[in-house]
Amino acid sequence: MYTLLEAQNLVEKHIQNISIPDTPTELYEPVKYVLSIGGKRIRPALVILACDLFAGSVDSALVPAVAIEVFHNFTLLHDDIMDRSEVRRGQPTVHVKYGENVAILSGDVMSILASRLINHSPGVVLNVVHEVFTKTAMQVCEGQQMDMNFEDLLTVSEEEYMTMIQLKTAVLIAASLKIGAILGGGSQTDANDLYDFGLNLGMAFQLQDDLLDTFGDQQTIGKMLGTDIVDNKKTFLMIKALEKGSPQQRKNLTDWLAKRDFKREEKVAEVTGIFKQLKIKEITNQRIKVFYKKSLESLAKLNRPEERKVELSNFASFLINRNK
Amino acid sequence: MYTLLEAQNLVEKHIQNISIPDTPTELYEPVKYVLSIGGKRIRPALVILACDLFAGSVDSALVPAVAIEVFHNFTLLHDDIMDRSEVRRGQPTVHVKYGENVAILSGDVMSILASRLINHSPGVVLNVVHEVFTKTAMQVCEGQQMDMNFEDLLTVSEEEYMTMIQLKTAVLIAASLKIGAILGGGSQTDANDLYDFGLNLGMAFQLQDDLLDTFGDQQTIGKMLGTDIVDNKKTFLMIKALEKGSPQQRKNLTDWLAKRDFKREEKVAEVTGIFKQLKIKEITNQRIKVFYKKSLESLAKLNRPEERKVELSNFASFLINRNK
């Protein structure tokens, strides 16, 4: 049985070995660059763990697992263009390093490469795996569109926010597990239970991300706190604060959202202060626990020996307890 | 047996009927827009004709045929961003109408949708169709990258140019025919012969495009002549002129390529004048005929009754004789 770390290492090795054409250099060098600068390889590792859960041949899951990682990195690449982000994983983003046109096109070819790698799934499940993959991939685009729409909205409801993070983040984690289950020979019910496990975990994961951006330890997470606040991101924290705040607190928040000229530290301190007054951290932590609990319920329903599920429950606990 | 026109109409009807999600509106409205403003539906019609050639069930080829058209339109959408084109088929391009971020993301979702529609190929050939499709799709990106690279090069060899148009244009026409053949139940040899037919035809098609841009009839093609000349495109015409010209003619051409300030009409007239002195039109026409002849040889090799091939040979003749 694979541990999460073993699965991550296996995937990492395989990513470095996939055959990516050399020419045109301008097109494929950025693809290699993006795949070389790391990331935790969580999603492909989940494909492996889910496959292994059914004692399926992990070998047959390796290429589809890499496909998911390639797809995930494609979304980051294009999101970075749309969000004008200049740094990713401590390195310059592709459009900064190679120019915007190259970034668009390299992303395009990565998306197609991902689909091509999915085609390495065994014939008997290819159709199902491919449908889960492409359906999910479209949903991720929908989530990114919603996220962009939020930038122009003054208020976003909690429900809209939850739909957005479900599409942008949670469905790909869920689909990774489902695809792993299908490749491992799990039943449809098993695959769906794992999907639900991943979906709720993905929600918890994103809320934890929102939380760390404001309340994390700067040393540990290795970047400035409060980026979301500075960027006026409609995170769960901000949405809850706008919902729970007194008229005065809400006015202060909307004033900060509207302000064009400000000192970064001052804005972060003031908004974080209001969050603290409203116990937003505690509210968010509580919500994370609800999703975590739901995810464990789906895992419990899964018809596999408990000792086989240990890695996945460890992973869930790691995700919501992480501090970076 | 389907005629080209019948195949085009069938495809058109089906394109308007494919189910595209409604929300987020910002994401999917541009997709519907792009698919609604037409085009000749040549590629999907070729899928249908190739399938029909083997008396295969055209019904089973319809969705994959639409997939190819969706993919083709995705490439146009993203190419227009990269090329900063403002008009396509007489309508504003997506990035002009909806903004660049939306254009990137709508293109992304179209590419995935295309792959999802390919998954509707019958299970027994799914793997093969999917591999042809994704391999080809990657090649199209490679062609676009080469085309972008040419912008920054002073000279492009004929060989480089031929590779570029093969990747950017010809392989998708070839793959449309090959996929149709596979869906129709043709043998591998048949499918490859049709691929070669399409590849050579695609080359002829692109050279004809280059020719019409300079030597077409302005009334008939419905746009200004000489766009390629104004944009310093390294077309076959320009490459041949730079190769065949006297030192003085070459100097004149490179001067025009370097000039930043010029009157459009003057540049077009002068460069076209040099092309005429060098008989570039005749040279290009001759090259078109070579590709046309090669394409017909592949069609002749194809092990099908001659009367079944008529639509494809008509199509080939139409393509190289078209005046718009």
Nearest-CA distance A102 → chain B (Å): 8
Q: pLDDT-derived band of residue B154, with 50, 70 and 90 as boundaries? A: confident
Helix (H, G, I), strand (E, B) or coil at A91: strand
> pLDDT grade, residue A225 (50/70/90)?
confident
pLDDT of residue A283: 97
Strands A91-92 and A87-88: antiparallel
Chain B: residue whose CA lies nearest to A145: B27
**Residue B295: burial class (beta carbons within 10 Å; 0-12, 13-18, 19+):** buried
Output the pLDDT for position B106: 98
Q: Tokens 């763990």 appear where?
A: A49
- Shortest CA distance to A112 belongs to which of B30, B100, B177, B130? B130
Please give the average per-residue pLDDT across A38-42, as a whole number: 90
Distance CA B292, CA B286 (A): 10
Residue range B209-235: mean pLDDT, rounded: 88
CB A64 within 8 A of CB A43: no
Q: What is the pLDDT of residue B89?
A: 87
Q: Of the CATH numbers 3.60.10.10, 3.10.20.600, 1.10.600.10, 3.40.50.970, which one belongs to the domain with range A1-186? A: 1.10.600.10
pLDDT in tens, B261-313: 999 999 999 999 999 999 999 999 999 999 999 999 999 999 999 999 999 99
Q: Which ranges in chain A are annotated with CATH 1.10.600.10?
A: 1-186, 204-324
Residues B189-217, mean pLDDT to the nearest whole number: 96
- For residue A80, list chain B residues with Cβ-Cβ distance below 8 A: none
Judged against a pLDDT cut of 90, whether residue B55 lies above it is answered with: no
Contacts of A113 in chain B (CB under 8 A): 134, 138
Residue A306 confidence class, pLDDT cut points 50, 70, 90: very high
Alpha helices in B185-234 (DSSP H): 188-215, 218-221, 227-230
Mean pLDDT, all residues of chain B: 95
Residue range B173-196, pLDDT digits in tens? 999 999 999 999 999 999 999 999
- Which residues from A are below 8 Å from B when comparing CB atoms? 21, 23-24, 26-27, 78, 81-82, 101-102, 104-105, 107-109, 111-113, 115-116, 119, 123, 126-127, 130-131, 134-135, 137-138, 141-142, 144-146, 148-149
Can you give B253-277 as a three-state secondary structure string? HHHHHHCCCCCHHHHHHHHHHHHHH
Write down the residue that tokens 């009367």 correspond to. B307
Query: Residue B103 carries which side chain, given as an amino acid letter?
Result: A
Of B119, B123, B138, the CB nearest to A113: B138
Tens digits of per-residue pLDDT, A136-178?
A: 999 999 999 999 999 888 889 999 999 999 999 999 999 999 9
Location of structure tokens 């000279």: B155
Task: Give the mean pLDDT of A51-56.
Answer: 91
Nearest to A75 by CA among A88, A91, A63: A88
> Does B115 contact A115 at a Cβ distance shorter than 8 Å?
yes
Architecture of domain A204-324: Orthogonal Bundle (1.10)
Mean pLDDT, range A108-116, rounded to an integer: 98
Nearest chain A residue to B26 by CA distance is A145
- The mean per-residue pLDDT over the stretch A292-301 comes to 96
CB contact under 8 A, A148 and B104: no
Q: Which of A21, A81, A149 sits opposite B24 (nearest CB)?
A: A149
Across the interface, whether the CB atoms of A135 and B146 are under 8 A apart is answered no
Residue ranges matching CATH 1.10.600.10 in chain B:
1-186, 199-324
Closest-CA residue of chain A to B101: A82
d(CA A62, CA A11): 7
- pLDDT over threshold 90, residue A320: no
Architecture of domain B199-324: Orthogonal Bundle (1.10)
Percent of chain A residues past pLDDT 90, beyond the cut = 87
Tell me whether the omega of the peptide bond preceding residue A24 falls within 30 degrees of 0, making it cis.
Answer: yes
Residue A90 has pLDDT above 80, yes or no: yes
pTM of the model: 0.96
C-beta of residue A284 within 8 angstroms of C-beta of residue A263: no
pLDDT reported for residue B152:
84
Structure tokens at B53: 């050639």
Query: Residue A7 pLDDT more than 90?
Result: yes
**Predicted local distance difference test score (pLDDT) of residue B323:** 78
User: Quick one: which of A174, A221, A177, A230 has its CA closest to A202?
Assistant: A174
Q: How much is the pLDDT for A89?
A: 87
B112–A111 C-beta distance less than 8 A:
yes
When the pLDDT of each residue in chain A is averaged and rounded to a whole number, the result is 95
A104 vs B21, B82, B137: nearest CB: B82
CB contact under 8 A, A130 and B107: no
Q: What is the pLDDT of residue B320?
A: 85
Lookup: tokens for B79: 């190419």
Nearest-Cα residue of chain B relative to residue A149:
B26
Give the pLDDT mean for A192-212: 97
Mean pLDDT score, A233-260: 95
Mark yes or no for CB contact B119/A130 under 8 Å: yes
> Model ipTM?
0.95
The region, left, alpha or beta by phi > 0 then psi within -120 to 50, assigned to residue B99 is left
Lowest average pLDDT, out of A23-27, A47-51, A217-221, goes to A217-221
